């Protein structure tokens, strides 16, 4: 897994790429919680994710819950087909705010 961050539209965008499995989900979790812990709103870009397992999904869930408790905005953007199928299987596509891209999210934010 590779990752990068950037700031756009009042969010920190965390771009995850590659496979998010048991071996690298702790790093994904660390990055998600670091951004939120610094007081930022977070969008996780999953467009480059080729595979995600339950440990990776758990990292996203923890980030979502942490953001909610802290009153921060959290969402997923550009969710790849591979990641979306896992989220749908777990019915998390109904839980997470999911947008095609950051522009769509910013438009919704108004």
- By the 8 A CB rule, do 93 and 62 touch? no
CATH number at residue 98: 3.30.750.24
Q: pLDDT tens digits for 36-89?
A: 999 999 999 999 999 999 999 999 999 999 999 999 999 999 999 999 999 999
Domain tally for the chain?
1
* Confidence category of residue 110, pLDDT binned at 50, 70, 90: confident
CA 78/CA 43 separation, integer angstroms:
10
| pLDDT of 96 | 97
Cut 0.85: pTM above it: yes
- Residue 64 belongs to domain spanning: 2-109
């Amino acid at each position: 897994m590779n990752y990068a961050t950037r700031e756009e539209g009042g969010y920190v965008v965390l771009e995850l790429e590659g496979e998010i499995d048991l071996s690298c989900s702790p790093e994904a979790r660390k990055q998600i919680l670091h951004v939120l812990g610094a007081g930022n709103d977070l969008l996780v870009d999953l467009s480059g994710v080729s595979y995600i397992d339950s440990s990776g999904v758990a990292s996203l869930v923890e980030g979502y819950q942490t953001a909610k408790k802290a009153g921060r905005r959290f969402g997923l953007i550009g969710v790849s087909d591979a990641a979306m199928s896992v989220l749908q299987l777990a019915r998390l596509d109904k839980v997470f705010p999911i947008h095609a891209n950051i522009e769509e999210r910013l438009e919704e934010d108004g």
